[in-house]
Amino acid sequence: MATKLSPKEYVKREERLTGGHRLCAGCGAGVVMRQVLMGAKDNPVVISNATGCLEVSTTIYPYTAWKDSYIHSAFENTAATISGVEAAYNSLVRQGKVKSDKPYRFLSVAGDGGSYDIGLQALSGALERGHDVVLLCYDNGAYMNTGFQRSASTPLGAWTTTSPDGKVVPGKQQQRKNLTAIAAAHGVPYVAQASPHNFRDLIAKAETAFETPGPAFLNVLSPCPRGWRSADPDGMKLAKMMVQSCFWPMYEVIDGNYKLSFDPKDRKIPIRDWMEQQGRFKHLFTPEFEYVIEEGQAHVDREWERLKQLASLPPIAE
């Protein structure tokens, strides 16, 4: 993994997503993108971005917030788009038609809807074919741009417009999909999960992803005040709490070897601590639905123990 630098060193790096975009107050997507692009250092980047909050808020014609080359892709095919661009670039380099002092980097960006669900086959294909690209998911737990519909990333019990709470059904009835584990199962060189509240960790992971030959996958928690029904200034605080509860563990999978980036140990907090600060879970804090929180906690605890066991395994010999 790339060395974590001091904040002063990161500040020297160029801002590649400008201010003045129209993302909501408190939105995590812009913060995530600024940090990930810092990981590219001064290499030129080509970005493929699926339809979603980030796209509609940063590319309102005739304006753009992107300093790098940018392609708007459909909801389902951003990973396929960047795969084609990377293949074309390699062909042009072989033909001597493209020359650069610094190698180009290629980045696919999609939310959880465009990664866990409708874009999963394109993401899986890019990983399986071995393209030298970084595939980024900014995960806010629902299809936020189109009105807060459930995705495979939506937590158990959460309210969305397609998993509403009622007298009988307590919000979403399924546990969330583990997309990071699915990506790691492809046997790619680098997979990581991160949170923008720890910017040094995220930038270092992005730098490692960009510099690792072959496909790399980054899954990054992205606070959404509108969909989470939380206060605008609380995004990073909630992200930190979700990490401390092990609902969103920070870790890497490097050539099949699992490595924890953070272990709260005796500072681990219950998931209810951050759930009660998000309106999408308010219906669970009632006698009839309290059991959903308990089921969610048990699931998080099991997954955390499984992850710790994977991280304790001896390194896979090269």
Chain segment 221-269, per-residue pLDDT in tens: 999 999 999 999 999 999 999 999 999 999 999 999 999 999 999 999 9
Distance CA 199, CA 61 (A): 30
Contact 192, 204 (CB under 8 A): no
Tokens of 248: 């969103």
| 65 falls within a domain | yes
Calculate Rg over the CA atoms of the chain.
19
How does the average pLDDT of the chain come out, rounded?
96
- Its pTM surpasses 0.75: yes
Q: To which residue do tokens 């399986």 refer? A: 128
Distance CA 71, CA 43 (A): 18
With bands split at pLDDT 50, 70 and 90, how would you rate the model's confidence at 107?
A: very high
154-159: Cβ within 8 A, 24+ apart: 155/247, 155/296, 156/292, 156/295, 156/296, 156/299, 157/281, 157/284, 157/289, 157/292, 157/293, 157/296, 158/280, 158/281, 159/229, 159/279, 159/280, 159/281, 159/282, 159/283
Q: What is the pLDDT of residue 1?
A: 77
Q: To which residue do tokens 């417009």 refer? A: 161
pLDDT digit string, tens, across residues 20-61: 899 999 999 999 999 999 999 999 999 999 999 999 999 999
Tokens of 34: 């600024």
| 1 falls within a domain | no
Q: What is the pLDDT of residue 101?
A: 86
Region of residue 182 (phi > 0: left; psi between -120 and 50: alpha; otherwise: beta): alpha
Distance CA 293, CA 272 (A): 7
| 264 falls within a domain | yes
Distance CA 267, CA 264 (A): 5
Q: What is the pLDDT of residue 123?
A: 98
Domain of 47: which CATH number?
Answer: 3.40.50.970
Contact 292, 157 (CB under 8 A): yes
User: Does the structure show a pLDDT above 90 at 100?
Assistant: no
β-strand pairing of 190-194 with 251-254: antiparallel
Q: What is the pLDDT of residue 217?
A: 99
| 84 falls within a domain | yes
With bands split at pLDDT 50, 70 and 90, how would you rate the model's confidence at 318?
A: low
With bands split at pLDDT 50, 70 and 90, how would you rate the model's confidence at 93?
A: very high
| 245 falls within a domain | yes
Whether the ω angle into residue 264 lies within 30 degrees of 0, i.e. cis, is no
| 283 falls within a domain | no
Give residues with Cβ within 8 angstroms of 261, minimum separation 6: 192, 194, 201, 205, 250, 251, 252
Q: What is the pLDDT of residue 295?
A: 98
Mean pLDDT for the stretch of residues 89-98: 95
3-state secondary structure string across the chain: CCCCCCHHHHHCCCCCECCCCCCCCCCHHHHHHHHHHHCCCCCCEEEEEECCHHHHHHCCCCCCCECCEEEEECCCCHHHHHHHHHHHHHHHHHCCCCCCCCCCEEEEEEEHHHHHHCCHHHHHHHHHHCCCCEEEEEECCCECCCCCECCCCCCCCCCECCECECCCCECCCCCCCCHHHHHHCCCCCEEEEECCCCHHHHHHHHHHHHHCCCCEEEEEECCCHHHHCCCHHHHHHHHHHHHHCCCCCCEEEECCEEEECCCCHHHCCCCHHHHCCCHHHHHHCCCCCHHHHHHHHHHHHHHHHHHHHHHCCCCCCC
Mean pLDDT for the stretch of residues 5-32: 93
* Domain that residue 27 falls in: 7-150+178-271
Q: What is the pLDDT of residue 73?
A: 97
pLDDT digit string, tens, across residues 128-175: 999 999 999 999 999 999 999 999 999 999 999 999 999 999 999 999
| 306 falls within a domain | no
Mean pLDDT for the stretch of residues 8-26: 92
Q: What is the pLDDT of residue 180?
A: 98
User: Does the structure show a pLDDT above 90 at 3?
Assistant: no
Q: What is the pLDDT of residue 307?
A: 98
User: Does the structure show a pLDDT above 70 at 209?
Assistant: yes
Q: What is the pLDDT of residue 313?
A: 94
| 198 falls within a domain | yes
How many domains, in total, are found in the chain? 1
User: Does the structure show a pLDDT above 90 at 99?
Assistant: no
